[in-house]
Amino acid sequence: MQEMNQGTTGLRTWVADLAAQPAAKTVVVGVTAVVLTPVILPLVKPVLKATIKSGVTLFEKAKGAIAETGEVLADITAEAMAEAHADAEKRAKLQSALSTPVTAATAEEN
């Protein structure tokens, strides 16, 4: 029994020494990843697929919303420019009407 206990202690010491080395940690993580990937991937695949699908759907909706926002802003800009041009034309007509001297012929027309 003591021999078995000593063997366990020796194994524990060896594992502890191995875990203290950074290079050994990297190798252990790499080997573990290679060994566990075929087991974990089929379990995680449906969740990963659903997550990616949700992301794609969200991206498409966001793209549509951004396009719609761009169209609304373009419409508002066009309306504002049209109103600005109309106001400028009114001011120009008013300015030309005010700067035109009143003559007897134009007074009779009014």
Helix-helix angle 2-20:22-99, to 10 degrees:
30
The whole-number pLDDT of residue 108 equals 57
In a domain, 33, yes or no: no
Q: How big is the CA angle at 11 (ends 9 and 14), to the nearest 5 degrees?
A: 110
Q: Say what the pLDDT of residue 1 is.
A: 44
Domain contains 102: no
Q: Is 85 a member of any domain? A: yes
The parent domain of residue 47 ranges over 42-97
Domain-embedded: residue 80? yes
Q: Is residue 4 part of a domain?
A: no
Q: What is the pLDDT along the chain (110 residues), one digit of tens a residue?
A: 445 455 567 888 887 887 788 888 888 888 888 999 899 889 999 999 999 999 999 999 999 999 999 999 999 999 999 999 999 999 999 888 888 765 655 555 55
- Split into its structural domains, the chain has a count of 1
> What is the DSSP code string of 4-25?
HHHHHHHHHHHHHHHHHSHHHH
pLDDT confidence of residue 72: 97
Residue 60 falls inside a structural domain? yes
Residue 91 lies in a domain: yes
pLDDT of residue 47: 95
Please report, as a single letter, which amino acid is at residue 8.
Answer: T
